[in-house]
């Protein structure tokens, strides 16, 4: 666990509820699934309980005997890669409420996490940095208050959209140093503070960049001129 088992010992926690669900409903499956699949199923169940899945507009097949690949997808497509592991969660405008649990970091094959326009609060968990294959993260129009630093480990990010969230943080230089594959970058109206790091010049592939409506200080670094793909 991400907290040395503290959440699992709390009967009110999403982690405890997910573990209980697996033990009480999935007992027959446990002997047939690999450890990685069991962890994936646990992570998805924790996601459901943490974000009040019972109140979702669409929750087809969640928490039943179907494989996780058959659980809800916004585009009615499989959630999984060819290897059978969750590759995308697209749940726009689906009344997700609560905090994103750190167990999302167990979904290590994830490439696309799109949770646009819900009511997600709190911080983006540092465990999201475990999603090294993530290319698209969209959490625009939520209530996330979060530092951006954990995303610096998602080095394959191509699209990042956190606009319309009260982030109220600065952009660390490590983010621009590491996430050089970004092509679309939206952080407008997020209450960003501090100076724009000169490392922004490393985003040589970025085409779309929106940073308006913030409280950034200092002048725009001259290195932004290196971003020659901006449209």
| Residue environment code for 97-122, b if the CB has 16+ CB neighbours within 10 A, otherwise e | bbbbbbbbbbbbbbbbbbbbbbebee
How much of the chain, in percent, has pLDDT values that exceed 90?
73
* 78 pLDDT higher than 80: no
* 75 pLDDT higher than 60: no
pTM beyond 0.85, yes or no? yes
Residues 177-229 have pLDDT tens digits of: 999 999 999 999 999 999 999 999 999 999 999 999 999 998 889 999 999 99
How much is the pLDDT for 76? 44
């Amino acid at each position: 666990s991400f907290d040395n088992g503290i959440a699992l010992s709390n009967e009110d926690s999403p982690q405890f509820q997910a573990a209980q669900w697996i033990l009480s409903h999935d007992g027959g499956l446990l002997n047939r699934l690999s450890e990685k699949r069991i962890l994936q199923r646990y992570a998805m169940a924790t996601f459901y309980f943490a974000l009040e899945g019972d109140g979702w507009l669409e929750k087809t097949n969640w928490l039943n005997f179907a494989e996780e690949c058959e659980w809800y997808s916004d585009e009615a497509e499989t959630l999984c890669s060819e290897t059978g592991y969750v590759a995308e969660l697209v749940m726009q405008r689906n009344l997700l409420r609560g905090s994103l649990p750190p167990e999302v970091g167990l979904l290590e094959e994830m490439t696309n996490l799109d949770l646009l326009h819900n009511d997600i609060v709190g911080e983006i968990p540092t465990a999201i940095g475990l999603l090294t294959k993530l290319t698209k993260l969209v959490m625009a129009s939520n209530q996330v208050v979060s530092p951006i630093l954990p995303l610096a480990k998602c080095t394959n990010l191509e699209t990042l959209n956190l606009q319309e969230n009260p982030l109220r943080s600065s952009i660390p230089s490590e983010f621009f140093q590491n996430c050089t594959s970004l092509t679309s970058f939206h952080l407008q109206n997020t209450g960003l503070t501090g100076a724009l790091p000169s490392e922004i010049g490393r985003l040589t592939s970025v085409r779309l960049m929106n940073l308006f409506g913030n409280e950034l200080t200092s002048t725009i670094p001259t290195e932004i001129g290196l971003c020659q793909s901006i449209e």
